Structures are given as structure tokens and as C-alpha cells.
Amino acid sequence: MSNKWVKTKKETVTYIQNKGGPTLGYSDSSGINIIMEDGFAFKDLNRNGKLDKYEDWRLPAEERAKDLASQMSIEQIAGLMLYSRHQAVPASNGFFPAAYNGKSYSESGAKPYDLSDEQIAFLTKDHLRHVLLTSVESPEIAARWNNNVQALAEGVGLGIPANNSSDPRHGSDSSKEYNAGAGGAISMWPETLGFAATFDPELVQRFGEIAAKEYRALGLATALSPQIDIATDPRWARFDGTFGEDSKLSADLARAYIDGFQTSTEEGVNADGWGAGSVNAMVKHWPGGGSGEGGRDAHFAYGKYAVYPGNNFEEHLVPFLDGAFKLSGGTEKASAVMPYYTISYNQDPVNGENVGNSYNAYIVGDLLRRKYGYDGVVCTDWGITDDLGPDISRLFPGGRSWGVEQGYTVAERHYKALMAGVDQFGGNNDVGPILDAYRIGVEEHGEAYMRRRFEQSAVRLLKNMFRIGLFENPYCDVDVTERIVGNADYMTAGYEAQLKSVVMLKNKGQILPLPNRKTVYIPTRYRPAGTNWMGFPTEAVEGYPVNLEVVRKYFNVTDDPEVADLALVFITGADSGSGYSKADAEAGGNGYVPISLQYKPYTAEHAREMSIAGDEREVLNRSYKGKTICSTNATDLEAVLKAKEMMKGKPVIVSLQLSKPTIVAEFESAADAIVVAFGVQDQAILDILVGKSEPSGLLPMQMPANMKTVEEQLEDVPHDMEVHIDTEGNAYDFAYGLSWNGVIVDERTKHYGKSR
């Protein structure tokens, strides 16, 4: 029988194109041979000289996964259950120490795409196959690093490839200039909250399609996104990673996002939508983490509790059930789910446990698995099995084992999560605790039971790799990578999305759009030294908050308000920190302080007398009533008010960068126009201001009138605040925005507005 394939070679990778089938790619260094059957070519990944089911690309992913799982040792399956700590390329740029042949990166002479000693160890010794990437030096280096990882993985054991992944990486660099026809390191889009402000599922799906092509060209096969928690508490630090507070909008955008990533547009797509262009989406965070008490975040012990004073737990499931698990593109459901760190307080009616969601057999097993029929991968959030660190006000070092901090070993935590229905452990490079958990299970249930349980997780994990063609060709063609990632068309699509995400809140006297070449005064911005979200110190910063080179292409810039035609003030939303004060605790307090959304000092007169959640091992009553907090960027408010004074009646335009709602009442009356952005380039704001593009964004959340309504709203309920009404009589409510013609009323506001 004549061959039905064509063989080529590029650098160190050999490619075999099967006629009517997939392209195989394998490294010269891996020792892989090719098996011929019926004229087609197959990779002999386990080197046994025969075609195993898992090597036969003609078979369904489920059948292949079951065959491979049955051949794997417990050690290999345990390695498959690992998801690495954050890795950078080169590794020396990351959070953790990295050596190359026992030397530092600078001393070793290693290339930036070489594997570190630690990476080689976890790929070979610990059998790890899921790698989380953070920064990469360039697309070319990312592609070459991927090829080195895949060559190593292909050459050992059963030839299981690496499933490399990334958190969202398409955010915009505000200072960069957009030029039509020019490319970049990767296409730049608005933040997730900015996508929500477009109220446009088609745009979000287009992003997913483009991002998937760029991911695969970088060697990334899984996206640790989207984050579809409904952000029902306006104080939450991760508000900007969500699609806002509305469950229907979040569901529709989640569906569009995942369809874009998972539905392959490459040739040879399966009937179910999966193919070589697909990227697995790991949707997060089940069952929703947007209702942390007092707005605190569960990365920290002081924010471990999600509370439901409005008895609104079910609505937080809507983006999953009606969005992520009800796709339109054929792949049916998001391929993986990540539970959040939170303890969903008093939401377990079966066992009555208040433990982190990944440990909760009701939250994962009864609800997600059985009631809602989810059989994809469940992966914990990062670092949930580690012991606690010495300082709860810092993110590192230490783990986030909420509810099982005491009375459990690291191995016992792994076992508890496995028994709850978890398949994989985020942020764990070490196979040892999973093997210990296996032994605990053998003692309790017997070896046959635990073997079945491990194979169950292995099949789920392997299916995600088979469906997207990793076993056939996990390699990147560097020339293709450089052609695809950040190409001009993708950069343009991202920039157009940024424009559509900008919301105009106020336009008194139709001051906008502005004529070109006006002379503008732009105040500098000052940020005092402080502490960042992770708990590490930050230096004081002073300077212009915008790229003046870009501004000068639109306006004349002056430092003298007297000669300026108008003031252009760039500010960010009020930031008072995370809701915990180490100094308060050291002074004898409970450590808990308000999270304020106003710039001026705030005293929590309307806070609860008694917190909803707490535990006697730490602090039972976490109330912060009567305590005062100051924002770290009060100078932003001063900049607006001072500009108003100095301009002596001339217009003041405010560009407000938001990551969550803020109290605009403190400065709104001093502004003639306000535009809101959610992570865009400076140029996009300027294009709106001068009328090159008309504002069309809508608020994906409410803007509260004051802190009293913030304190009195219920953490788990959306749309329950009194909103700000400006000097023009407009209410800054969900789905509000202005165009040049006034308040926007269109199909989006009719479909998603509060009157629906």
C-alpha cells in the first residue's frame, strides 16, 4: 500500500503530514520511531514497536486516554496530577531560584530557552506535564523553550507531551503607541472588565479565536481563564479580572470567550469542535469568589470566607451553568474548572463543612460533579495544600489551606481534595505528597479502588491533551510563531476592542469631542511608598501618568495652567488596601480594617457590629466598625480639585482608570467630562477625547453614591447599591454610558439593562 504521508524537516523537528489526517512532529533527540499502518504514519511513543490505542490518532480521545491511563504507573499518574509553580522563560526571571548545570543563569552561558535544572527535574523525576508560564523574553524564545520541553518529555517514559499554559497575557501596555500595520510581542486588548464594558459577546469570541492562535504559536495549550465569578461585592481586589457583577452578561461573555479558545478553526477539526487549533479553557473560580466578606480576597487568610447574607448562592453558579457549561461551538463545556480558595460559608448542607472549596465534597462532588454532571478536569487554585506562612498579610511564603490549616498533613490535604473530586493540584511541583495520598487511600479503600480513582483523573487530564493534538505534534515552528503572534491584524483587532471598552460617564455642555491641537495641562501623579497586594514594599513614584510623546500627537502640552485651554487629569480608582492591617493587629486590634472606595479618609460607621464569618483559631469577630482607613492615592482626588481651581473656569477632563467601582462623588462636580477605561493604551483614550472614535462602552457595574451604600449592600447580591447621580442628572448604574448623542439606549441596554 502506498504511503499516505509526506515527510519534511525543520531545524531539529521532523514533520510527517498524513493525507486527510494530522501532522506528526517529533524531535531528533527523543528517539521516537514511526509506525506505519494502512499507509498512515503514527508515533511509537512508548517504543514497543507496535501501534497502541493511545498512539492511534484515528481513535476517539476517550478511548486513547483510557488506554494510556491503564499503562501508566501510579508515579506517572501522580505526576500528571501536578500543575507547576509559575515558570518564566528564562527561568531566572521568575519567582523562584533557577540553576543551569548547577550555576546561575548569568554564569552558565545558557540560552534563554534552555531548561533549568529545576524544570528538568520536575519533568523527569516528578513526571510533571502541566506547566504554568508567566513572562517570556520573546515569542521566538517561548517557541524554542516549548520545543525543548517537548523533546525532553517525548523522550522519556510513555512519551506524554507537556501541556503548557498561561494566565491571561493579552493586557495592554498603556504607554505603547498603536500604529496601523505594525506588530508587537502579542496583541493587546482591554482587561476582562473592559470586555464586559463592550457588552459584546461577538467581540469577546473574536478575541478568544485570536488569542488561541497566539497561544498555540507560543506553545501554550491551556488558558487559565476566563475568570467568571460575578463580582457582587464592589470592594473585591479581583473585580477587574471578572466580567462584572451581572450573571447574565457574565454567562454570555464566558460562553463566547471559551468558544473562541476551544473551538478550533484549523483544518481537520473534529465534529465536536476540537482540533489542533484549540486551546483548553480552565474556567474559574467555582462556585464563585466574588462575595468575600467585607470585600476581602481569599488569597489571604483574612479573606478566606465567601458569605451569602442575601441567600444568593445559586446566582453565582449562573455563569458556569448557562455559560461555561453550555457552549455553542461544539466542545460543550470548558475543559477544566478551578475552584476558588474561599470557604463558601455555611453552604454545605450535606456535611456541614466550612473548608476551602477544593476540599469540600459537597461543592465539588455533589454539586459540580453529580448534580451538574461536570466530568472535566478540576484543578485546585495555587498552593492550597501547603502549610501556612508566618505572616498572613503577605502572599508568600506559605499556602492557603483554608479550613484544613490545622489537623492535616500536606499529604492528608491532597487526599481530602482527591476524595472531594479534584484531579490536579495547582502550584505543586513535587509528586511525593500525591503518592502519600495514594497510600492513605489504599489503607482506607484498597489498592484496586485507588488505582481506579487515579485512572479516572488521568483520563480526564489526558483527554484534554488528545483532543487538541498534543500527542501528534506539540512543537512550534518558530517562523510561524513570529508570523502569528502580535501580527498587525491582531494588533488592530485588539486596539479596536480597547476603543469599544471606553465608557464616557459625563460630557457637560458637549465639551467632547475636543478639537485637535488644543493646549492641555496634565498634572503629574504622586504615589507614596507603601505595600503592594502581595505584601511587599513599594517605592514612592512621581511623574506624568501618561506617555507625553503620544499626547503631543493630539495636543500641545504645557506645565502652565494659565496658558492651557483645558486640563486633562489622569487618575485611578480609590485604593485603600486589602482590608487587613498588620499594624492594627500588633496594636491589639483584630487586624481587620475597612476597604474604602473613596479617596478621603473613611470611618466605617455603617459596618456590621459582628462579622458573618470567623473562627476561634484566628479571629471570631472580624468587624471593623468605627475604624478609619486612608486611601493610598488621595493625591488623585487632590489633582482633580486643584486642576479645577487652577483652570479658573476652563474645562477639566478626567480620565479614570478603574479596576473596581469607586466613589466619584468626591470629584465629579469638578469635572466637565469623565471617561472610564479598563486597561487600555493611552492612545485609545485620546482617540475618544478628540472624536476619532465615538464612545460606546457601558458600565459593567454600579458606581456607588457613597460608602454607606457600600457597607449596607449584601456581598452576594448584584445591583443592590444606591448609585451616584451626577450634575447632569445621569445615574451611574449598570449598563449606563454616553455617546456623542447622550445616554446610550440600544439593543445591549435593552437585553442586559436592569429593566430586562
- Cα R_g (the chain), whole angstroms: 27
**Amino acid making up residue 338:** M
What are residue 681's phi and psi, to 5 degrees? -70, 150
Q: Which of 381, 687, 716, 726 is catalytic?
A: 381
Closest CA to 748 of 709, 693, 705, 698: 698
At a CB cut-off of 8 Å and minimum separation 6, what does 532 contact?
Answer: 538
Contact predicate 240/218, CB 8 Å: no
Closest CA to 231 of 565, 702, 601: 702
- 297 as an active site residue: the answer is no
- Partnered with residue 525 across adjacent β-strands are 543
Q: Do β-strands 530-531 and 537-538 pair in parallel, antiparallel, or remain unpaired?
A: antiparallel
DSSP 294: G
Element (H, E) at 101: none
Contact predicate 319/247, CB 8 Å: yes
Contact predicate 360/375, CB 8 Å: no
**642: number of CA atoms within 13 Å, CB side?**
13
Q: Do β-strands 33-37 and 40-44 pair in parallel, antiparallel, or remain unpaired?
A: antiparallel
At a CB cut-off of 8 Å and minimum separation 6, what does 373 contact?
Answer: none
- 246 as an active site residue: the answer is yes
* 3-state SS class at 392: coil
Contact predicate 691/710, CB 8 Å: no
C-alpha to C-alpha distance for 255 and 696, rounded to whole angstroms: 22
Element (H, E) at 629: strand 628-629
First to last CA, the chain: 64
At a CB cut-off of 8 Å and minimum separation 6, what does 281 contact?
Answer: 222, 223, 225, 226, 257, 258, 261, 262, 324, 334, 335, 336
C-alpha to C-alpha distance for 550 and 554, rounded to whole angstroms: 7
Element (H, E) at 709: helix 707-712
Q: Which of 44, 246, 348, 733 is catalytic?
A: 246
Interior angle at CA 153, CA 151 and CA 157, nearest 5: 125
C-alpha to C-alpha distance for 426 and 380, rounded to whole angstroms: 5
Element (H, E) at 480: helix 478-484
At a CB cut-off of 8 Å and minimum separation 6, what does 692 contact?
Answer: none
Closest CA to 78 of 430, 387, 452, 409: 430
Show the cell assigned to 602.
473613611
At a CB cut-off of 8 Å and minimum separation 6, what does 313 contact?
Answer: 287, 344, 347, 716
Query: Which residues are identified as catalytic?
Result: 246, 381
